[in-house]
A and B are shown apart, each in its own frame.
Chain A
Amino acid sequence: MLGLLETGSGFWSAIIWIVLVLVIGSIVIYIRNKGEDSYKKNTEQDKPFISGNPEESKESSHLSANHIYWGFTEALKGYYNPLVKMHTGNINDYSSWIIMLTVIILIVIGVSG
């Protein structure tokens, strides 16, 4: 399990990986500890700088999905709006769509067959 695994494009050794993680991790911790040690925790010094504005809650600072797809729906409005109209939320409408599409498919199969 801890041996050297050689492949056509290189090798993999768990021991080298662990040693590298320890070495790089130690360097990162050393550099981090060299930073500003007079920082006061749980104060404004601990919060991000947003041009002096207060930090908003995570919920209100997130973009909701309809914002992300705004450009997409705007560009495809002509195609998208009729689709929205079709989604009435009425199960009878959806059943009618299934029946109509099934009839069309059967006719196509019947004609081509």
Chain B
Amino acid sequence: MDKVKLNKYFERSLWVFHLNTGSCNGCDIEIVAGLTPRYDLERFGIKLVGSPKHADVLLVTGPVTGKMLDRVKRVYEQTPDPKAVIAVGTCGTSGGVFYNSYNLSGSIDKVIPVDVYVPGCPARPEAIINGVLQAWIKLEKLREGMKAAPAK
């Protein structure tokens, strides 16, 4: 990984919106663990925000239930561009043990485009942090692309 380039990315804070689409809360607890003093993600300027309209990254946990289907799409559409989506946990990435459940619309990538997959049941905080880092790198590339060719 290009350390110099990564340092440049850290100049800007990364705001993350966490969305639970039907998770058992296992992955959500691990996300919160990433913010506790042991891992302390906020020291890098990464923090959870209360609205997708303020977010750069969507951190989505759980398989998408039928009730959440419209809401996931709406939250994704409400997030300003450029944006990245991280699917956290086995259920989010594939549906997990619930993959063919009658009340599910499927894994997250069947509903919205996913950039980074973080498997695990639940995903470990280190893995989630690594996923956020991957999303950040992708997001910065998108930003640079948008600067080169600004949207009309």
Given contacts A38-B146, A38-B151, A45 and B70 within 8 Å (CB-CB): no
**Across the interface, do B74 and A44 meet the contact criterion of CB distance under 8 Å?**
yes
Measured CB to CB, the nearest residue on chain B to A43 is: B77
C-alpha gap A54/B75 in the complex (Å):
10
A78 is an interface residue with CB less than 8 A from chain B: no
Which residues on A sit within 8 Å (CB–CB) of B51? 49
Are B71 and A51 interface neighbours, CB within 8 A?
Answer: yes
Q: Which residues in chain B, 61-101, are within 8 Å of chain A measured between CB atoms?
A: 68, 70-72, 74-75, 77-82
- Partner of A38 from B19, B71, B75, B82 at Cβ < 8 Å: B82
A35 CB to nearest chain B CB (Å): 10
In the complex, the answer to whether B72 meets A52 with C-beta atoms within 8 Å is: yes
Complexed CA–CA distance, A50 and B19 (Å)? 13
Residue B106, interface by CB 8 Å: no
Known contacts A38-B146, A38-B151, A45 near B80 by CB under 8 Å:
yes
Most buried by B among A36, A38, A54: A38
B52 touches A38 (CB 8 A): no
Query: Please, which residue of chain B has its CB at the minimum distance from the CB of A39?
Result: B80
Are A47 and B80 in contact, CB atoms less than 8 angstroms apart? no
Contact A45 B53 (CB under 8 A): yes
The 8 Å CB contact of A54, one of B72, B74, B81, B146, is: B74
Task: Please tell me if the beta carbons of A36 and B72 are within 8 angstroms of each other in the complex.
Answer: no
Please pick, from A38, A39, A52, the residue contacting B74 in the complex, using a CB distance under 8 A: A52
Do the beta carbons of B78 and A38 come within 8 Å of each other? no
Give min CB distance, B128 to chain A, whole Å.
Answer: 22
* Also in contact, A44 and B77, with CB within 8 A (given A38-B151, A52-B72, A53-B71): yes
Contact across chains for B80 and A36 when beta carbons are under 8 A apart: yes
Contact across chains for A49 and B80 when beta carbons are under 8 A apart:
no
Report A-chain residues with C-beta under 8 Å of the C-beta of B19. 52
User: Please, which residues of chain A bring their CB within 8 A of the CB of B82?
Assistant: 38
B11 to chain A, nearest CB (A): 17
State whether the Cβ of A34 lies closer than 8 Å to any Cβ in chain B.
no
- Structural contact, B81 and A38, CB atoms closer than 8 A: yes
CB-CB < 8 A to A52: which residues of B? 19, 68, 70-72, 74-75
Contact string against B for A residues 49-61, beta-carbon threshold 8 Å, 1 for contact and 0 otherwise: 1011110000000
Q: Which residues on A are within 8 Å of B, measured CB to CB?
A: 36, 38-40, 43-45, 47, 49, 51-54
11 contacts between A and B (CB under 8 A): A38-B80, A38-B82, A38-B146, A44-B74, A44-B78, A45-B53, A45-B77, A45-B79, A52-B72, A52-B74, A53-B74
